[in-house]
Amino acid sequence: LRFRLAGYPRKHNEGRVEVFYNEEWGTICDDDFTLANAHVLCRHLGFVAAAGWAHSAKYGKGVGRIWLDNVNCGGSEKSISDCKHRGWGNSDCSHEEDAGVVCKDERIPGFKDSNVIEVRTLLAQVGTRRVPAEVNGPGGALAAGAVLSAAGAGAAAAQEMRRQHSEGGGVAAGPAGSRPVSPSVPCSPCRLVAERQQLNYRLRSVSCAGTEVHLSLCAFELVRSNASAPCAAGMPAVVSCAPGPLFAAAGAHKKRPRQQQQGQPRIRLKGGAKVGEGRVEVLKSSAWGTVCDDRWNLQSASVVCRELGFGSAKEALTGARMGQGAGLAPRGAAGAAVAPRRCRQRLPSLAGTGPIHMSEVQCEGTETSLWHCPLKNITEEDCKHSEDAAVRCNVPYMGYEDLIRLAGGRTASEGRVEVKRGNKWGTVCSDGWTTKEAMVACRQLGLGYSLHAVTETWYWDASNVTEMVLSGVKCEGHEMSLSHCQHHGASLSCKNTGTRFAAGVICSETASDLLLHAPLVQETAYIEDRPLHMLYCAAEENCLSSSARHANWPYGHRRLLRFSSQIHNNGRADFRPKAGRHSWVWHECH
């Protein structure tokens, strides 16, 4: 039996229950339905328990057969088929009585969801010891734990390995514990390695269709334990991977912004705390919009990941797990004046605004872009921003996180930044240390966003590292590592030396993201001639231009551009300015 949640509006852990029986999807009738039934169904779906259930097709009417009716579970059954019911397909209900469940948002450890695939090698799944991937810098190779025979590995299998990893120069299946074979080396050195070392073959052949999101989903043949020559007709399989734009050699990072300007990307990830995860947004008619999660699965998510230069997807997220989107025009497409700041200390994360461009995306897995997949153009009634789709991609291990650490903080997500240059650890000069540099540091650490860029860290003096090794750091914000930002190199220069003025960060998994609703400014803007005697308050707040000082107060008038403004918090955390309550002024004109 297979189960899934369907219907809308819903979150990822709730929906109409559908069961796949006798090669057909169908629903369950709500007659005599109880919370105990919901507990059993939620465990089928990979959740620890149920929080509630729904009747009368709350999540919409299903189609096809109604497989079960009058289900009566005790709550401890391992399968819904162990519960009492009228029999498969025996029902007097209509789809207006389809049952739904609301599951607790906590997964059963180790549960395999159809939209989640654990990142492990095929070899680990068939019982061999997993050897960690090894990387020789940006152009190095990744090594799997045991050897795949090249005699039975076709182009589709090689393509599948490339898709999983996406980057790292090459993927070489080599003997356990050995140094990986560089894919750029011709065949003769490969054969030389094979002759010199005892190869531990585990797979004789792999046959992929090319649409799989992971090598373990392909058909494969294991090597027989008593085989004397398991790969007599071939040699260890080797594949070469094309690097994604984020993982190009360090020297290419300075050229990347110019390349992006030549062709505006039509897809991006937003709202994710780490590299390779986020809400999927696509550009259509000069406006960014989101993708509805109806039928969203690993195949479609993998097309997104590969289009952005990552490996295949390890998770296809539904129910706006990465926040709700707000479709805005690309930067530079619209301009607006800035309204006077109001004295409000908290701006909560709001529901999404803007368009939803795609729904029911059904990729086969071979497409090079999400735009090449079959999809449905939708109206606002079809989908809400609470159903925005998101992804988590397989990201190649580049070793960047091993070149940075935090020291002295109260928690693991804060502290003085220490970087490794050559074989030596040292501090970073805080001259010019801003949110952009802190963002890159937090990303390199794998800790998400920067809440605060700290320029004095004397209170985090808990490390014996005192020497400064990096200065003049200036980042654009997109870099994967501080070493990819501009810096002084070996010619260190810092106004304030000493550990007191070393750079530090406070990182967070979530952050606010404030966006001006530019169309509203354009729609509400108008010109008004206003008498000066009505503008004393505006003058005190410096809302008038400097020439107003020379006006004949209180006589005469000023010509003003007036408009309404609306700020949306599109992030996954409330906006809370760091200024204390005594720093805020309440003006009577407000």
Q: What is the pLDDT of residue 347?
A: 58
Query: Does residue 186 or residue 43 have the better pLDDT?
Result: 43
Q: What is the pLDDT of residue 290?
A: 92
Q: Which tens digits make up the pLDDT trace of 404-437?
A: 999 999 999 999 999 999 889 999 999 999 999 9
Q: Which tens digits make up the pLDDT trace of 318-333?
A: 888 888 886 554 443 3
Do residue 561 and residue 482 come from a single domain? no
Q: Is residue 205 part of a domain?
A: no
What is the domain-level CATH number for residue 87? 3.10.250.10
Q: Is residue 485 part of a domain?
A: yes
How far from 346 is each of 512, 513, 574, CA to CA, in Å? 11, 13, 7
Chain Cα centroid distance, residue 237: 31
Q: What is the pLDDT of residue 300?
A: 93
Amino acid at 383: C
What is the average pLDDT value for the chain, to the nearest integer? 77
Please check the confidence at residue 588 and state whether its pLDDT lies above 60: no
Per-residue pLDDT band for 575 (boundaries 50, 70, 90) equals confident
Query: Does residue 19 or residue 233 have the better pLDDT?
Result: 19
Q: Which tens digits make up the pLDDT trace of 225-284?
A: 777 777 877 778 877 777 777 776 444 544 444 444 445 678 999 888 888 999 999 998
Query: Does residue 428 or residue 131 have the better pLDDT?
Result: 428
Using DSSP's 3-state secondary structure scheme, residue 558 falls into strand
Rounded-to-integer distance, Cα 48 and Cα 13, Å = 11
Do residue 422 and residue 449 come from a single domain? yes
Q: What is the pLDDT of residue 502?
A: 92
Do residue 46 and residue 94 come from a single domain? yes
Q: What is the pLDDT of residue 469?
A: 92
Do residue 478 and residue 389 come from a single domain? no
Rounded-to-integer distance, Cα 131 and Cα 241, Å = 20
Distant-in-sequence, close-in-space partners of 371: CB < 8 Å, separation ≥ 6: 266, 282
Nearest to 98 by CA among 71, 58, 51, 64: 58
Q: What is the pLDDT of residue 168?
A: 35
Q: What is the pLDDT of residue 133?
A: 31
Q: For the chain, give the percent of residues with pLDDT over 90.
A: 32
Q: Is residue 496 part of a domain?
A: yes
Do residue 444 and residue 465 come from a single domain? yes
Q: What is the pLDDT of residue 542?
A: 79
Q: Which of these ranges, 38-52, 56-70, 364-378, has the smallest mean pLDDT?
A: 364-378
Do residue 270 and residue 392 come from a single domain? yes
Q: Is residue 19 part of a domain?
A: yes
Q: Is residue 257 part of a domain?
A: no
Q: Is residue 361 part of a domain?
A: yes
Amino acid at 362: Q
Q: Which tens digits make up the pLDDT trace of 23-41?
A: 898 999 999 999 999 999 9
Rounded-to-integer distance, Cα 159 and Cα 165, Å = 10
Distant-in-sequence, close-in-space partners of 188: CB < 8 Å, separation ≥ 6: none
Other C-beta atoms closer than 10 Å to the C-beta of 68 total: 28
Do residue 26 and residue 78 come from a single domain? yes
Do residue 283 and residue 389 come from a single domain? yes
Do residue 295 and residue 390 come from a single domain? yes
Q: Which of these ranges, 131-135, 142-146, 362-366, has the smallest mean pLDDT?
A: 131-135
Q: What is the pLDDT of residue 437?
A: 95
Q: Is residue 181 part of a domain?
A: no
Rounded-to-integer distance, Cα 297 and Cα 289, Å = 19
Domain count, the chain: 4
Mean pLDDT of 217-221: 84
Mean pLDDT of 167-185: 35
Q: What is the pLDDT of residue 116?
A: 63
Residue span of the structural domain in which 488 resides = 404-508
Do residue 413 and residue 431 come from a single domain? yes
Q: Is residue 501 part of a domain?
A: yes
Mean pLDDT of 540-548: 84
Q: What is the pLDDT of residue 325?
A: 80
Amino acid at 27: T
Please check the confidence at residue 123 and state whether its pLDDT lies above 80: no
Q: What is the pLDDT of residue 33?
A: 94
Nearest to 311 by CA among 113, 161, 478: 161
Using DSSP's 3-state secondary structure scheme, residue 525 falls into coil
Per-residue pLDDT band for 154 (boundaries 50, 70, 90) equals low
Q: What is the pLDDT of residue 430?
A: 92
Please check the confidence at residue 147 and state whether its pLDDT lies above 80: no
Q: Which tens digits make up the pLDDT trace of 61-105?
A: 888 999 999 999 999 999 999 999 999 999 999 999 999 999 988
Q: What is the pLDDT of residue 67?
A: 95
Do residue 379 and residue 475 come from a single domain? no
Please check the confidence at residue 386 and state whether its pLDDT lies above 50: yes
Do residue 388 and residue 504 come from a single domain? no
Query: Does residue 136 or residue 66 have the better pLDDT?
Result: 66
Q: Which tens digits make up the pLDDT trace of 309-365?
A: 888 898 898 888 888 886 554 443 333 333 333 334 455 555 566 788 998 899 988
Rounded-to-integer distance, Cα 216 and Cα 240, Å = 19
Q: What is the pLDDT of residue 193?
A: 52
DSSP tag of 410: S
Please check the confidence at residue 1 and state whether its pLDDT lies above 80: yes
